[in-house]
Structure 1
Amino acid sequence: MSKSAELYRMATDEHICPFGLKSKDLLEREGYDVNDHLLSSREQTDKFKAKHNVETTPQTFIADKRIGGYDDLRDYFDKPKAGQQGTTYTPVIAIFAVAFLLSLAFSFAMGHGLISMKTVELFVALTMAVLAIQKLQDLFSFSNSFITYDLVAMKVVRYAYVYPFLEAFVGIGMIAGLPAYSIAPISLFIGGVGAVSVFKAVYIDKRKLKCACVGGDSNVPLGFISLTENLFMIAAGIWMLAR
């Protein structure tokens, strides 16, 4: 016997509700035939809300019982909550993983083989460049987070706005093969200050903060991963000068 559900979701010329589409997809994956009722205007939506005494759409009904919105529907099917919950290292892992794969690809394309010192250089440079992009998307939000633990930014707030550009310059400079004296000192400075700042905040002061390494709105906890970013910069600076 087939299962059916009634779904009411907003779909106007100006707005298509993403949670309505996700509700429809979830119902179909659970084996339901969906009677998809589109609320094609604000007036229709408001009337529906008033009739059923609800504040939001979409709304799902199964066997004449109102289940609720998308989150309620996930609960109904014993699915975990949607979206990111709490702090997570996922953004950093994604950046590191893609940067590593790109470094392998570039190294192979340039004839250095898959694993070589060039691969390592590219990995560090690409990681720094991508992390800089994350920060540059919203300098204001980044600065709000960064100044809470960086020792220089606490004293000179403008440093928080300059930092992502310096990080991008070092990463791009490494890939371009710029002279070591033009990028190594910057890498050593921002990496050194960053490492000391993170170590002090996390391991000495025992503060539980969010890291600004992937932007100010991230839920990445300040800790070992943040320290790793700075150690990369220090190692890159030393390597460039030694080479």
Structure 2
Amino acid sequence: MIVKTYQINGMHCMGCVNKVQKAFISHNHISEADVNLKNASVKLQMTNKLQLDELMDVLKNIGDYEMIENESEIHHNKFQLSTYKPLLLVIGFILFVSILSSYKTSFQLMNWMTNFMGGFFIAFSFFKFLDLNGFSNSFATYDIIAKKWKGYGKIYPFIELGLGVAYLLTIHSAITNTICILILTASTIGVIQAVLSKKQIQCACLGTVFNLPMSTVTIIENFTMILMAISSLIFDFFKQIIT
């Protein structure tokens, strides 16, 4: 869920407040609108981040109103590492557990990498399952496949879960890594497009439970997983040649 506050100019009475609130609530991606006449503001809860011009379109048919983005929130939207605390914690725990799993055996980089990738996909799919519809809607705002096929967002968490299980059980390594590369490449292309367009889009990597903005952090995360999958493919290829 995305929560943002905007200034609204042009409201003069409670009739205006009710009219503005009703207009926002009628929008598919706005779940709640708290309009304040005294502060001339509106606090919106959105399932997907809407651009200012999209919000203005909601109001243009009900009166002469002007919306302005809250200055404090504009400043807050600048990159802050603390914003990604949930993501960093989840990855940190996966890293910790994958290292522990290799503690009593002779440490092998490829085995650790496989365990990490398995834990990554299972953990990340869990957060997506918490709000499957919300994730699907958010994912469709940037993933190049989900944009064209809405159903892809509904099955994507199942694909991640399947990949996680396949990595942990080392089932069909070549197929598993190939699928990983394909789905993450498609997602990364969409993420790069979103970041370059400078649109404020919610990152759906942890579903909609946490309000994580799209940024280069998401690109780095995806590229890291893609490189791991490519490394595994190369390792398996040379291993087969040697043996």
> TM-score if structure 1 supplies the norm length?
0.59
Letter of the structure 2 residue corresponding to residue 124 of structure 1: M
Q: Which amino acid aligns with 1:209?
A: I
Given that residues 98 and 115 in structure 2 are in contact (C-alpha distance below 8 angstroms), is that contact kept between their aligned partners in structure 1? Answer: yes
Post-superposition offset of 1:189: 1.1
| Matched residue, 2:84 | 89
d(CA) in 1 for partners of 2:218, 2:151:
21
Give 1:133 deviation, angstroms.
Answer: 0.9
Is 1:223 matched up with 2:223?
no
Identity of counterpart residues, as a percentage?
28
Deviation at 1:105, TM superposition (A): 0.5
Q: CA RMSD in A?
A: 2.0
Q: Which has the larger radius of gyration?
A: 1
String of CA shifts for 1:108-144, please: whole Å, max 9, x gaps.
Answer: 13x033x733223322221222111111121111112
Return the offset for 1:221: 1.1
The answer for the alignment partner of 1:8 in structure 2 is none
Report the equivalent of 1:188: 181
Tell me how far 1:223 sits from its aligned partner: 1.3
**Residues of 2 paired with 1:167 and 1:225: CA distance?**
20
Q: Establish whether residue 159 from structure 1 lines up as the match of residue 190 from structure 2.
A: no
Counterpart CA distance in 2 for 1:162 and 1:236 is 23
Stretches of 4+ aligned residues off by more than 3 angstroms: none
Equivalent residue, structure 1, for 2:202: 210
Instruction: Give TM-score, length-normalised by structure 2.
Output: 0.59
**Cα pair 1:146 1:160 within 8 Å, conserved:** yes
Structure of higher RCO (CA pairs closer than 8 Å, 6+ residues apart)? 2
Is it true that 1:178 corresponds to 2:180 in the alignment? no
Q: Give the Cα–Cα distance (whole angstroms) in 1 for the partners of residues 201 and 116 of structure 2.
A: 27
Verify: 1:235 aligned to 2:227, yes or no. Answer: yes
**Distance of 1:126 and 1:224 partners within structure 2:** 22
Gaps of 5+ in 2: 1-75, 237-243
For these two proteins, the number of residue pairs brought into alignment is 156
> For the Cα contact (< 8 Å) 2:110–2:232, is it kept in 1?
no
- Alignment partner for residue 169 of structure 1, among 162, 169, 172? 162
Gap runs ≥5 in structure 1: 1-84
Query: What is the rounded CA distance, in whole Å, between the counterparts of 2:109 and 2:129 in structure 1?
Result: 30
**Aligned partners of 1:149, 1:90: CA distance in 2, in Å?**
22
AA of the residue aligned to 1:198: V
